[in-house]
Amino acid sequence: MFQLNTELAKINGIGQKFLARLAKLQIKTVRDLLWHFPFRYEDYSKVVKIDDLQINQSATVRATVQKISVRRTWRRKMLIVEALLVDETGGIKAIWFNQPYVAQILKDGVEANFAGKVTASDEEIYMSSPAYEVVRGSTSETKHTAGLIPIYPETRSLTSKGIRFLVKPILNNLETIPDFVPSEVLESNDLPNINTALKRIHFPFALEDAEIARKRFAFEDLFLLQLNNLKIRLQLAKEKAPPIAVSQKELDKIIASLPFELTASQKQSLDEIVADLSKPMPMNRLLQGDVGSGKTVIVAIAGIIAAKNNKQTAFMAPTEVLARQHYQTLTKIFGKLNVGICLLTSNEARSFYGDDLEGKRQKSELLKEIEDGKIQIIIGTHAIISSYKGKPVMFRDLALAIIDEQHRFGVEQRAALVKQEKDKGAETTIHFLSMSATPIPRTLSLTLFGDLDLSIINELPKGRKPIITKVVDPKNRPKAYEFIREHVKAGRQVFVIYPRIEPSSKENTESKIVSARQKVWNEVKAVKEEYEKLSTKIFPDLKVGMLHGKLKAAEKEKVMSAFSGGDLNILVSTSVIEVGVDVPNATIMVIEGADRFGLSQLYQFRGRVGRSEHQSFCFLFTDSSSQTTAQRLDALLEAKNGFELAEKDLAIRGPGQFLGDKQTGIPDLAMRALNNIELIKTARSAAEEVLKKDPTLKKHAPLRTRLKDFQKQIHLE
């Protein structure tokens, strides 16, 4: 009998070569093999007599081999095996291409099942490369013919047939597996037990069997995801964080100091955040809103409130450009409030107490100010969680972490900060607020991000004009350039975003390690070429600047401040510009190779413009004339807001691509199930049900163990 963790290498009769090929697919144990699910089934379940075969029909015949022969085609390129198959009703020809070994197995007189499609050419009717299976007696079990035949994801030299050979006997000799999904959950949702499901997903009697087995596996992952979310919530509810309170009067005063009126959804979000902060347990909230909707102001107010309570805030941005921008925004808007604010990146240290706007500091000096509590809001990059001269940043009283624009919403940063504080002996943990301009479609917020509370800003500040967006036909390029020139003459500025040129997908998979670095280089190369072209050929009379990921921070800073100061007319950039950069006078966004970006990314690029009273434009250039490109770009033209777009993006690209390069650790099947709102809801209520009766899962040992493994898997990045 086999167990799930039996190693395939320990099973008699599996050849070394075969093991090596399986290993290439990461298949090493019985579990790996059985969880390598078919992706479709060939329906050979009809066993018919030869006389009844129909053209184009997929079917199985049981027949005897006659006159089998091997020959080469006249061009001597291809080996052809031909045989006559006969049963008591008649005969049909079978042809195999380039599989000479078939003639070794199927000698004249051998009785076998043949499954395949009946094909007709001008002269004759034949079965083309049928699957065959020698049968002994009438009761022998079949795995390649006479049924629904599983087709697996294959690699070169590892065929579905090979996998079937292995799966069938292993399934037949598998020890009963204890099911970690509680039986009452299975029953109330009409799902099969794990043992049945495994058999049926590989060898279904009918397609519905396979479907229901598949549903069970998707369900179990969603169920685990939900349990994980709910456990995190339960855990956080038990942890302590310092309550940070603010009186309504004081809050009103802070709001009144702003140079503008908050929108209704900004107010609503702020109220939710303030309520969380006032509780003695950690906040775990995500603030979502379109680019330019005013998230930064809201999270900054949270930092100000903390500062008024003598608590510190770590405000982390993904890039130095952004960190600096946040620093500038906060010092400008809240400069009079008497709060110590600093900027800490690997290249820069500045601090501000309402006086010296430059505020340059030695890093060691700044760290001392943080440690002494002179600084309350620490804005920076990951430098905040890195160490300097072997020591982590020492906060005097860190209470709030704000994380900007992280796709996975700062799980790692959060963990790093919490650990840092625990290591220093802190008794309480910190409040956690992240913000993102990438709206999460509902299905994902219920699953992958189900441990987070959401606040949503779904409107832009008053007075913003919608951005006119056009997909530009390549032949209209000169016109677009003319348009740009006119607007520059009128004093406006222009972004040109350039994508990296991806190496072909084959190279991509074969050299994953090189590719991350290679990608940056490709991107830089592309943007340099574009810069050359624009600055010397197309706009030699205008001032063009360039920004990419290989520039030093100081150079980036110079280019960015030249652009925001109006000294550059056009800024050519790679996607480093994606997040958050704020230059209101820029009113035209040109996106080259628009088909190479995700919809949400395009949406974010476009959000760089439309921030002033002038009408803004977004031009999308693409050489791709494919249907999907058109469909995707149309979605961008039509979308009313980021949420609508995110839903479409998810539907078009699927969760895997939607979530981007980042590994989520979520199995494929569950990934696809992330689109299935019904199943998600079912899984959620099942998880709630179980945890309500058994919060620590002590009565559900197999589930507890499985959940632990699952958590390891999804945190493994």
Interface residues with ligand ADP (CB under 6 A)? Answer: 260-263, 266, 289, 291-297, 437, 461, 580, 582
CB 114 within 8 A of CB 131: yes
469 binding partner (options ligand ADP, Mg ion, none; Cβ < 5 to 8 Å by kind): none
Question: CB nearest ligand ADP: which residue?
Answer: 294
Which one-letter DSSP state was computed for residue 542? Answer: S
Which CB, 205 or 260, lies closer to ligand ADP? 260
**Nearest alpha carbon to residue 30 among 174, 191, 224, 179:** 174
* Measured CA distances, 506 to 27, 364, 502, 554 (Å): 22, 48, 11, 37
Which CB, 580 or 593, lies closer to Mg ion? 580
Neighbouring CB atoms inside 10 A of 101's CB total 11
**Residue pointed to by tokens 């030695």:** 362
Q: Is residue 436 a contact residue for Mg ion (CB under 5 A)? A: no
192 binding partner (options Mg ion, ligand ADP, none; Cβ < 5 to 8 Å by kind): none
In whole angstroms, the minimum distance from the beta carbon of 607 to ligand ADP comes to: 7
622 binding partner (options Mg ion, ligand ADP, none; Cβ < 5 to 8 Å by kind): none
Q: Is residue 296 a contact residue for Mg ion (CB under 5 A)? A: yes
289 binding partner (options ligand ADP, Mg ion, none; Cβ < 5 to 8 Å by kind): ligand ADP
In whole angstroms, the minimum distance from the beta carbon of 213 to ligand ADP comes to: 45
**Residue pointed to by tokens 């001269």:** 389
Q: Is residue 574 a contact residue for Mg ion (CB under 5 A)? A: no
* Measured CA distances, 52 to 5, 344, 351, 430, 701 (Å): 46, 79, 87, 74, 55
Strands 90-97 and 79-87: antiparallel
In whole angstroms, the minimum distance from the beta carbon of 517 to ligand ADP comes to: 30
* Measured CA distances, 284 to 103, 246, 418, 451 (Å): 66, 19, 13, 8
In whole angstroms, the minimum distance from the beta carbon of 322 to ligand ADP comes to: 10
In whole angstroms, the minimum distance from the beta carbon of 300 to ligand ADP comes to: 8
CB 90 within 8 A of CB 107: no
Site size toward Mg ion (CB under 5 A) is 2
CA distance 492 to 484: 9
Q: Is residue 607 a contact residue for Mg ion (CB under 5 A)? A: no
Q: Is residue 242 a contact residue for Mg ion (CB under 5 A)? A: no
Tokens of 470: 């056009």
In whole angstroms, the minimum distance from the beta carbon of 461 to ligand ADP comes to: 3
Neighbouring CB atoms inside 10 A of 591's CB total 28
Which CB, 296 or 429, lies closer to ligand ADP? 296
Tokens of 64: 């005897």
433 binding partner (options ligand ADP, Mg ion, none; Cβ < 5 to 8 Å by kind): none
Which CB, 143 or 295, lies closer to ligand ADP? 295
461 binding partner (options ligand ADP, Mg ion, none; Cβ < 5 to 8 Å by kind): ligand ADP
What's at 595, amino acid-wise? D
Could you tell me which stretch among 60-68, 195-203, 293-301, 673-681 binds Mg ion (CB under 5 A)? 293-301
293 binding partner (options Mg ion, ligand ADP, none; Cβ < 5 to 8 Å by kind): ligand ADP
CB 533 within 8 A of CB 525: no
Helix (H) or strand (E) holding 560: helix 553-564
CA distance 348 to 330: 17
CB 352 within 8 A of CB 341: yes
Could you tell me which stretch among 288-296, 356-364, 527-535, 681-689 binds Mg ion (CB under 5 A)? 288-296
In whole angstroms, the minimum distance from the beta carbon of 573 to ligand ADP comes to: 17
Question: What is the contact surface with Mg ion in residues (CB under 5 A)?
Answer: 296, 580
